[in-house]
């Protein structure tokens, strides 16, 4: 069960890296997103990460 949490953390890191690279490339190309849109995007990413962690940790928490 611990490996599920570790895999979820790895997936979260990959997802955050992908979003960061996409935002960086958009900025380099000249497509500037408003700051509020970027904040909302990072909040959505944080909620998805929280969902993944809770989903992978629930079986572990249930056994305690």
The CA radius of gyration of the chain, in Å to the nearest whole number, is 15
The one-digit pLDDT tens for each residue of the chain (64 residues) are 678 888 889 999 999 999 999 999 999 999 989 999 999 999 999 999 999 888 888 876 666 6
For the record, the structure tokens of 9 come out as 């953390």
3-class state of residue 34 by DSSP: coil
CB contact at 8 A, 45 and 19: yes
**What's the pLDDT at 10?**
94
Quote the Cα angle for 7-15-63, to 5°. 30
Q: Which of 9, 36, 33 is nearest to 23 (CA)?
A: 33
Return the DSSP state at 30.
T
pTM, rounded to two decimals:
0.80
């Amino acid at each position: 069960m611990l490996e599920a949490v570790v895999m979820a953390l790895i997936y979260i890191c990959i997802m955050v890296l992908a979003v960061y690279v996409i935002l960086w490339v958009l900025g380099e190309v000249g497509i500037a997103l408003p700051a509020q849109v970027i904040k909302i995007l990072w909040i959505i990413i944080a909620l998805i990460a929280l969902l993944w962690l809770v989903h992978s940790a629930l079986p572990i928490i249930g056994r305690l």
